Chain A
Amino acid sequence: GENVEQHPSTLSVQEGDSAVIKCTYSDSASNYFPWYKQELGKGPQLIIDIRSNVGEKKDQRIAVTLNKTAKHFSLHITETQPEDSAVYFCAASGLTDKLIFGTGTRLQVFP
């Protein structure tokens, strides 16, 4: 079945710097790749997603890139702010029609 690996598990950056989180997936049939942000005491919140017919998608300071050949996708956050501090999860879905999640990245942005 599908397996999603996420790196790094923790990431600390200075405010204003960029942050990059990477995920790899195993099922070449996967075609939907969302990213979620989970703040303390809250459920995961969808922040951006990409489908396999595009290679990159941007929404203000966040962007996601997809490399189907290498089976990996990445989340890029530019000009990080303290409120970006949270746990970020990637996920992938394919023929099984289920979302398979990565193990999460705890991002800390220091002022």
Chain B
Amino acid sequence: ETGVTQTPRHLVMGMTNKKSLKCEQHLGHNAMYWYKQSAKKPLELMFVYSLEERVENNSVPSRFSPECPNSSHLFLHLHTLQPEDSALYLCASSPSPDGLVGEQYFGPGTRLTVT
């Protein structure tokens, strides 16, 4: 266990559904991240939050909406997704207080399938 938990572990949703992914870190870290992992592609950084403020948004489509209510919790709200959004969504946290790169600890991921 890395101290980063994600729920649900698996999610199947239709293109018109709205769902949310949840991430919680128990490490006392200050930065949290959402990544997308697709087959045969490098991990893609989606969002970075440092001290609960968004510091990075890698031009992600607006159908993905992040929320960071406190330094321990991170959500990814999903709506009107496309089949190509099917992937493993990974959450990570880092002790870095200002978003600078340091050791990142990943959760187990949510396997999302869009039908």
Q: When the two chains form the complex, which single residue of B42, B45, B102, B105 contacts A102, counting CB atoms closer than 8 Å?
A: B42
Tell me which residues across on chain B come within 8 A of A4, comparing CB atoms: 42
Stretch from B13-21, B59-67, B74-82, B106-114 that touches the partner: B106-114
Asked, given contacts A43-B2, A43-B4, whether A103 binds B108 with beta carbons under 8 Å apart, the answer is no
**Nearest chain A residue, comparing its CB with the CB of B106:** A43
Chain B interface (Cβ < 8 Å from any Cβ of A): 2, 4, 6, 40-43, 45, 48, 56, 90, 92, 99-109
B97 smallest CB distance to A (angstroms): 13
**Nearest chain B residue, comparing its CB with the CB of A104:** B42
**Nearest chain B residue, comparing its CB with the CB of A3:** B42
B87 smallest CB distance to A (angstroms): 13
Chain A residue total in the interface (Cβ 8 A): 21
Cα(A100)–Cα(B105), bound, Å:
15
A26 smallest CB distance to B (angstroms): 13
Tell me which residues across on chain A come within 8 A of B4, comparing CB atoms: 43
Q: When the two chains form the complex, which single residue of B2, B92, B100, B103 contacts A97, counting CB atoms closer than 8 Å?
A: B100
Please provide the chain A residues from 54 to 107 with a CB less than 8 Å away from any CB of chain B in the complex.
Answer: 89, 93, 97-104
A103–B40 touching, CB < 8 Å:
yes
Asked, given contacts A4-B42, A102-B42, A103-B40, whether A44 binds B106 with beta carbons under 8 Å apart, the answer is yes
